[in-house]
Amino acid sequence: MHDVAIVGAGPVGGTLALALADADLDVVALDARAEGATLRRDRSLALSHGARLVFERLGVWSRLADAQGALSPILAIDISQAGGFGVTRLAADEQGLPALGYVVSYVALQAAIDAELARTRTAIRYGAQVAHVGGTPSHAAVTFADAGHDALTARLAVVADGTGTAVAGIARERREYGQVALLAKIAMASPHQGVAYERFTPSGPVALLPEGDHYGLIWTMAPAEGERTLALSDAQFLAELAAHFGARVDGFRGVRDRTTFPLALEFARPAVTTRCVLIGNAAQTLHPVAGQGFNLGVRDAYALARTIVEHGRDALGDRAMVADYAARRRVDRVAGIAFTHGLTQLFAPDWPPLSWPRGVALSLLDAVPPLKRAFTSAMLFGLR
């Protein structure tokens, strides 16, 4: 019997495996992908400064920093609403930090984590399709889709596969937003200077994230509008983006790699069960507004590793240890879900009377330094 079985060795599961690498534990990570591959095509992840600190401790950050084009710092974030007053600008120098966060290549991050894991004694089983995860008072059991593989047992099973659907005894709540996110790479007439933009519009938030020599676009819209916008010529697309985004940014010069995906809020209730813990998107999948989802998953992984080490091998996976982890993550997890969902609701309605209080809130956030510091700290490090 293993001590810890991690289902999913992607960025979140891999973070947990690395955080446990120096502990005197028998850890096995199970991943459906082939060795050296990724389960999805490259995409951009928004990493907070807090996530950077975690990856520095695990030896991943130096690999990312050395990879050409893998990292783009976010030096400031401009937050505004269309059709109303009020602007907030968060800046790294106000926080005494080199950057508020970073836009990171998913493929580069996965490669860096894989390379660090290869230096540890953690067992990685690639091509392992997990069918079911269940727990008893004495152990967790993991069964595989391939009937030729025997079930695996562990004192604790951690599910970081991005869905959590294989876990018995966990209810999942899902809220469809009735929207899609349109992603694209946007070439600009002038350098972005490391400034990210979050603009709230009647159809939903629009974000521009600085990536290398271009911006990564996340544009929220109704599904039918997404299909129509995907079909536009490049010139038509850029013209509509400029009209929709407004005067905060100009100089859109080119577009490539357009795609859409549906938006929903989904979370496990609870995110723990008998000898099993869900982390990352398996525990909660958030709206991309404010870029909190992946960072919440990294904090899940790091907090779970600390809880495991502090309780020790004899208590691994027992009810008290699992409950302690759930208690440690409760405030940050609930706040992260409520914050992102609340933003979609607060700024989405196209109702003129709401424009004024929203503008006041943005203006106060920008004008009151203690409030701005607290807000920025929560975005960078979560609530603890």
Q: Smallest Cα–Cα separation from 252: which of 266, 242, 240, 263?
A: 242
Q: What angle do CA 270, 140, 326 make, to 5 degrees?
A: 30
Same domain membership, residue 247 and residue 112: no
Same domain for 15 and 118, yes or no, is yes
Q: Which of 211, 236, 264 is the last residue of a domain?
A: 264
Same domain, 127 and 158: yes
Residue 86: inside a domain: no
Whether 74 is covered by a domain: the verdict is no
Same domain? For 250 and 204 the reply is: yes
Shared-domain flag, residues 39 and 134: yes
Q: Are residues 122 and 242 in the same domain?
A: no
Is-cis flag, bond preceding 270, omega within 30? yes
The answer on 166 and 22 residing in a single domain is: yes
Residue 369 is assigned to a structural domain of this protein: no
Q: Is residue 200 part of a domain?
A: yes
> Is 295 within a domain?
yes
Domain residues for the domain of 236 are 175-264
Residue 373, domain member (yes or no): no
Amino acid of residue 25: L
What is the predicted pLDDT for the residue at 194?
Answer: 96
pLDDT at 344: 81
Looking up residue 218, the CATH number of its domain turns out to be: 3.30.9.10
163 and 310, same domain (yes or no): yes
Rounded Cα gap, residues 49 and 102, in angstroms: 8
Which residue(s) pair with 165 in the sheet?
Answer: none
CB 209 within 8 A of CB 220: no
Residues 157 and 277 in one domain: yes
Determine, yes or no, domain membership for 57. Answer: no
Assign residue 308 the CATH number of its domain.
Answer: 3.50.50.60
CA angle 97, 364, 92 (to 5 degrees): 10
**CA-based nearest residue to 155, from 324, 6, 327, 5:** 5
Burial of 184 (0-12, 13-18, 19+ CB in 10 A): buried
Q: Is residue 252 part of a domain?
A: yes
The pLDDT of residue 351: 57
The predicted pLDDT at position 24 comes to 93
* Same domain, yes or no: 206 and 341: no
Same domain, 249 and 302: no
Give the total number of structural domains in the chain: 2
Q: Based on the domain organization, do 36 and 110 belong to the same domain?
A: yes
Q: Is the pTM of this model over 0.95?
A: no
Last residue of a domain, one of 210, 242, 264: 264
Q: Out of 264, 292, 312, pick the residue that ends a domain.
A: 264
Consecutive 10-residue averages of pLDDT for the chain (384 residues):
96 98 96 84 88 96 93 94 81 93 94 96 94 94 86 96 88 93 96 93 90 94 96 97 90 96 94 96 91 94 98 96 97 91 71 63 70 74 68
SS3 content of the chain, % helix, strand, coil (to 5): 40, 35, 30
The CA distances from residue 218 to 184, 186, 279, in Å, are 7, 10, 25
Cα distances (angstroms) measured from residue 248 to each of 87, 151, 214: 10, 56, 16
